[in-house]
Amino acid sequence: MLSLLPFLIVLAAGPAPAPTDAPHATPLTEIGRVRSTPICTPIVVHANGAITSALDNDRSLAILATNLRAMDFDKLNSMQLHRTIEDLMKQAGTIRQNGKLADNEIKQLRAYAAASSDPERKAELKAFADALGGAIYRQTKAAAEFMRDVTIMQGREDAQEARDIKTRDEQVPENLNPQAVANTRAVLRPGPPSYNQVMREIASDLTDRVSAINADEGIAADHSIAATSGC
């Protein structure tokens, strides 16, 4: 039985991929690990919670896209294909779960911004929360759409299998040439979906989303110091 889990674990151990189309974006990092500026601890706790989720999701999306390109889905038997897709769906599900956790942190940051009496910190913290929230939203949406696309494809495959069974079980008139029946069925029944083609298209879509995610994270990084300092 084939599983993608070993491959996923190996890739997850590496660093997050560098932005491709936005090298100018400031890298997003956890606050407090790269500077000694006095920080607002309650704000930083929530900020780092959201940042950690965003960075984890960056890695997970990169792993997902890599696996979608690397696997030869069309050569897997039905059991292997089921297990492989199950692994990928779990990976996407983890991204969505991280997104929900991060969204709660973003709500706390926006509440801090709304309650701040310092106009500058209010503006900086809101800008930080909005940008990071945007990145997390994009990540979660990418994972959700991957899961939707796979579910639709599996539904179509199940429907095709049901039609095949119905066709197979139909009685063939004795006076009809069996070869002619087989040829007719081959014309009427489309071939099985190419998982390779669909998965490569999904991988390209995931990659296309990276630049917007990186841009949001870069804006959040630019506002992170002012948003969390000076308490």
Number of domains in the chain: 1
> Which carries the bigger pLDDT value, residue 93 or residue 179?
93
Give residue 2's pLDDT. 42
Q: Classify burial at 113, counting beta carbons within 10 Å of its beta carbon; exposed 0-12, middle 13-18, buried 19 or more.
A: buried
Give residue 109's pLDDT. 96
Provide the residue range defining the domain that includes 213.
5-228
pLDDT tens-place string over residues 69-109: 999 999 999 899 999 999 999 999 999 999 999 999 999 99
> Which carries the bigger pLDDT value, residue 182 or residue 115?
115
Torsion angles phi and psi, residue 201, rounded to 5 = -65, -40
Give residue 194's pLDDT. 84
Average pLDDT estimate for 178-194: 50
| Of the candidate ranges 27-31, 124-128, 159-163, 227-231, the one whose mean pLDDT is the lowest | 159-163
Confidence of residue 14 (pLDDT cuts 50, 70, 90): very low
Torsion angles phi and psi, residue 56, rounded to 5 = -60, -40
Give residue 166's pLDDT. 53
pLDDT tens-place string over residues 20-66: 444 568 999 998 754 545 668 899 999 999 999 999 999 999 999 99
What is the pTM assigned to this prediction? Answer: 0.75
- Angle, alpha carbons 108-35-128 (nearest 5°): 30
Q: Is the pLDDT of residue 17 over 60?
A: no
Confidence of residue 173 (pLDDT cuts 50, 70, 90): low
As a dihedral over the C-alpha atoms of residue 71, residue 77, residue 83, residue 85, rounded to 10 degrees, the angle is 50
Q: Is the pLDDT of residue 221 over 80?
A: yes
Q: Classify burial at 83, counting beta carbons within 10 Å of its beta carbon; exposed 0-12, middle 13-18, buried 19 or more.
A: middle
> Which carries the bigger pLDDT value, residue 57 or residue 7?
57
- Angle, alpha carbons 17-18-21 (nearest 5°): 125
pLDDT tens-place string over residues 189-220: 444 568 899 999 999 999 999 999 999 999 99
Q: Is the pLDDT of residue 161 over 70?
A: no
Give residue 100's pLDDT. 96
Q: Is the pLDDT of residue 171 over 90?
A: no
